[in-house]
Chain A
Amino acid sequence: MRSTWRTLDAELLRDVTAVAAGAAVSGASFGAISTGAGLPWWLPVVMSLLVFAGGSQFMAVGVVAAGGSPAAAVLAGLLLNVRHLPFGLAVGDVLGKGLLPRLVGSHLLIDETTAFALAQSDPRKAKAAYWSCGVALFISWNVAVLAGALVGQNIGDPGAFGLDAAFPAALLALLLPALKDKATRHAALLGAAIALATTPFLPAGVPVLFALGGLLVTARQEVKP
Chain B
Amino acid sequence: MTLTAVLVLAAGTYAFRLAGPLLRDRLKLSDRVKLLMSTSATVLLFALVATASLTKGQGFAGLALPIGVLVAGIAAWRKAPFVVVVVLAAVTTAGLRFVGVS
Query: Interface of A with B (CB < 8 Å)?
Result: 14-15, 17-19, 22, 34, 37, 39, 43, 46-47, 50-53, 56, 60-61, 64, 70-71, 73-74, 77-78, 81-93, 95, 102-103, 105-107, 109, 111, 114-115, 118, 159-176, 178-179, 183-184, 187-189, 191-192, 194-196, 199-201, 204, 207-209, 211-212, 214-215, 218, 221, 223-224
Contact = CB atoms under 8 A, between A and B. Distances in A.
A165 B69 contact: yes
B12 interface: yes
Contact of B46 (A170, A191, A207, A218): A191
Interface in B62-80: 64-65, 68-69, 72-73, 76-77
A191 B21 contact: no
Contacts, number: 283
Most chain B CB within 10 A, of A47, A86, A164, A201, is at: A164
Interface in B35-68: 35-55, 57-59, 64-65, 68
Q: Is the interface of B mostly helix, strand, loop or mixed?
A: helix
Contacts of A89: 20, 23-24, 37, 40-41
A196 B54 CA distance: 8
Given A18-B86, A162-B91, A211-B47, A88 B1 contact: no
B94 A161 contact: yes
Contacts of A160: 94, 97
Given A179-B42, A215-B36, A90 B20 contact: yes
Nearest to B33: A89
A192 B47 contact: yes
Given A60-B1, A172-B69, A212-B44, A187 B20 contact: no
Contact of A175 (B45, B52, B53, B59): B45
Contacts of A209: 44
